[in-house]
Amino acid sequence: MRAPLLAEHLVERHLREAAVPWTVIAPAAFMDNYTSGWTLESLRQGAFAWPMPADRPLALIPATDIGTFAALVLQRRDEFAGRRIDIASDERTPAEMAEILAGAIGCPIGHHEVPLAQVRARSADLAAMFAYFTTSGLGVDVAALHRDYPEVGWHSFTEWADGLDWSALLASASAHQ
């Protein structure tokens, strides 16, 4: 289980003190973020530029699995009331993600570790998040989620990557430069 960020902690403390039913769904890193921004730009150049060491696992989830899990929580409110649930569909290292993306895209992709200082120049919050991912990790028990909630139909990083039209995504990124 990951430690919530300060803002999340304050919201969750407020919820625990409120006299209303609540559930916190805490998703891992979003797979969908790899289809835009600097990641998509770097993929066009044959690199998976990511600010983490090649061998550090990261818990991941696509938006579709977040939505499916949220629907499950709404359908079974009593079961989930008063709980924080960390969710992830898969866990992969940046080196593994680069290999999977290479297969999905159909061209060689290598991991390139972006220095945190470079990320910090764009966003201190983003740099802090990646520092946390690298030092503490998210600690989501992916196997238990798959076992306990198979109806979600959890998507692996490979399934997610293989399900995208990378030629269109990469062409779109090319058109914006």
* Domain containing residue 140: 6-175
- The share of the chain scoring above pLDDT 90, in percent, equals 69
Q: Does a structural domain hold residue 26? A: yes
Radius of gyration, alpha carbons of the chain: 17
152 contacts 23 by C-beta, under 8 angstroms: no
Reduced to 3 states (helix: H, G, I; strand: E, B; else coil), residue 109 is coil
Average pLDDT rounded to a whole number, residues 148-155: 97
Reduced to 3 states (helix: H, G, I; strand: E, B; else coil), residue 68 is helix
| Helix 166-175 and helix 94-105, axial crossing angle in degrees, nearest 10 | 100
Model confidence pLDDT, tens digit, residues 71-125: 999 999 999 999 989 999 999 999 999 999 999 999 999 999 999 999 999 988 8
Q: Does a structural domain hold residue 1? A: no
- Chain centre to alpha carbon of residue 88: 7
- Give residue 126's pLDDT band: very low, low, confident or very high (50, 70, 90): confident
**Would you give the end-to-end CA distance of the chain in angstroms?**
39
Average pLDDT rounded to a whole number, residues 130-147: 89
Closest CA to 26 of 92, 93, 79, 73: 73
Q: Does a structural domain hold residue 81? A: yes
Q: Is 153 left (phi over 0), alpha (psi -120 to 50) or beta?
A: left
Residues paired with residue 90 on neighbouring β-strands, in sequence order: 60
Q: Does a structural domain hold residue 80? A: yes
CATH of the domain at 152: 3.40.50.720
Under DSSP, the state recorded for 35 is G
Give me the number of domains the chain comprises: 1
Q: Does a structural domain hold residue 22? A: yes
Tokens 């579709």: give the residue.
64
- The share of the chain scoring above pLDDT 70, in percent, equals 89
Please name the residues in contact with 166: beta carbons below 8 A apart, sequence gap of 6 or more. 43, 104, 105, 106
